[in-house]
Structure 1
Amino acid sequence: MQQRQRQAPVPLDDSPIARLYQQHALSLMSYVRRHVSSREDAEDIVLEVFLAALEQKGLGQLSEPEQLAWLRGVAHHKCVDYHRRSTRRRAVSLEEADEALLTDEERGPDQLALRCEEDALLRERFTQLPDHYQTILLLRFARGLRCTEIARHLNKSDGAVRMLLSRALNILREIYTTS
């Protein structure tokens, strides 16, 4: 029985970031996976690392070992951020959970008004996103499509869809924090 070796996907282009991804994605995924419980979260963190690499202008001038050290450092910081975010999630009391499960018909007028205000605020901030980010968020959250389904629908790779989704959510988060 022949053992298959896992390899990073072949990049669609020969850009420096694509080569960097091909060389280091699997080792970074292995590192992150040791520190994060779910595979999906690990994939998201590795995606964030390469997004940071894409934005780092001087990375191409570094030697390969220096690039790897930089990527591992970013991966470490992203893992720390992940754990900080997960510990900050507040516990929800049973009363709050029960209220969250109420249908609109069971809510009081004040709760409905508050929900309408929150929805209007979300729609307003959502429209500030570029159209392609709006589309990807609608497909994911309004229609409930998974990344692979969105990729087929948009004729993009699964990785490209994950990257677009991550960027869209980060931009929406920034819009919320700056407003």
Structure 2
Amino acid sequence: MKVLSLLIFFFSSLFVGETTVSTGYQPGDKATDFKLKGVDGKMVSMSDYKDAKGFIVVFTCNTCPFAVKYENRINDLAKKYKKQGYVLLAINPNDPAVQPDDTYELMQAKAKDKKFAFPYLVDEGQKIYPQYGATKTPHVFLLDKNLVVHYIGAIDDNVDDASAVKEKYLENAIAALDKGEAPSPAVTKAIGCSIKAKKKS
């Protein structure tokens, strides 16, 4: 009887894990492509960029103070690495019903005001961020052209002062990827606000 109870618990926990809990991607995993709406109204997928050398996927938002502090840095990264063949895609995972300042219209206003040099996409239905395992804004995932994940975590080691950064985690990871080497570290702790999701009833 005990064995049967354990088996039932084991298999039920598997299903619970699949539907409600996701640890997301780890370095070496292949990410699934997405199709998300940008602030210009167009649908965007990584498959649209046939010649991309890799992808910088950043989960960010309008409202989080940490995300706001990184806006200019993210914009600069998009411009810098576009020349090197990397495409930066920013995804807003927040539910606007929970965080009203993250509506699609306010995303459009933010992108226009900050002159974003990258697609700013909305994770409608909050289906993509759990797949990736994003938990914060900002949270970065570096993928190669085959969508294999090579780095996950923070952009750098100083949220407050871009001029005082000592470790450029993302840029170092890109440099390693260009050399055919594994980034070290391949994972860092993302520092930011928790992603705003509706509570499940």
What TM-score range do you get, normalising by the shorter chain? Answer: under 0.3
- Give the alignment's TM-score, normalised by structure 2: 0.25
Bigger Cα Rg? 1
- Give the alignment's TM-score, normalised by structure 1: 0.27
Higher relative contact order (Cα pairs below 8 Å, separated by 6+ residues): 2
Structure (1/2) with the larger helix percentage: 1
Structure (1/2) with the larger strand percentage: 2
